[in-house]
Amino acid sequence: MKRLTVLLLFSSLSFTNCGSGPSQDLSGLLLLLAGGGGGNSTFHCGQTVANPVPYSTTTNQPVASASDFITAAGGNNCGSASLVDNDDGTVTDTQNHFLWTLCTAYNPATIQLYDYVSSNCNAGAVVAADRNITQSQAVVFCESLTFAGHSDWILPDAIQLDTLYVASNPYSLTPFGTKESLKRLGSVWTSTQTTDRIIHTYLGSTDRIVAVGNNTGLASLICIAKI
């Protein structure tokens, strides 16, 4: 009886949905029979509006309203980050199912992450190499990175990176105490772009979303992987 039901269901889909194409019918049926439908996959929050985001910005200035900008990028669909230190140079957000690189990157000649040594990244003074990375270089670096058992790293979008924002001490990653990351550096790239072809960075100040020139701006980065 079960085999007959499946056969009848397949026939019904083929006739009633003939305008949508056989591949869509078959994929929908297989998803249904497998018990799928979205309930078994992990949702990952982030930007839902395609670049360029319809929001006007001024170069090297904070956005007029951080909340309005996030709304323009699709709205904040993330929960409050619940961060766990993996003590290997990565941080897990168990709420939003992300893995972050704790250390930032720098570019003395070839872009690389700071080494994770003695439960820290780099506590030294910020030097020019720390902010010598363009946004396009940041995208390529993250997508090419193999680290902590992951090769699916990407540059985070503005909404994803905003989950690390804490108003009292912006981007300090306070759950990790004295460990230095965004707290030390001050500015990192996101993958988000506005209608003005301006890329947004995040600063270690109350100006948490700042517009920087598309081709000339320099900053650093941290990468994100989905888990």
Q: Where are the domains of the chain?
A: 2-33, 66-226
Report residue 25 as tokens. 């019918």
* Residue corresponding to tokens 């720390």: 130
pLDDT in tens, 159-197: 998 888 776 665 655 555 567 777 777 788 999 998 877
Rounded Cα distance between 85 and 176, Å, is: 7
pTM of the model: 0.79
Q: Which of 64-78, 140-154, 164-178 has the lowest mean pLDDT?
A: 164-178
144 pLDDT higher than 70: yes
User: Hey, is 52 helix, strand or coil?
Assistant: coil
Inter-residue contact 219 to 187 (CB < 8 Å): yes
Written out in words, the top-level CATH class of the domain with range 66-226 is: alpha beta
Burial group, residue 118, by CB count within 10 angstroms (0-12, 13-18, 19+): exposed
- Residue pair 66/219 in contact (Cβ under 8 Å)? The answer is no
pLDDT beyond 90 at 226: yes
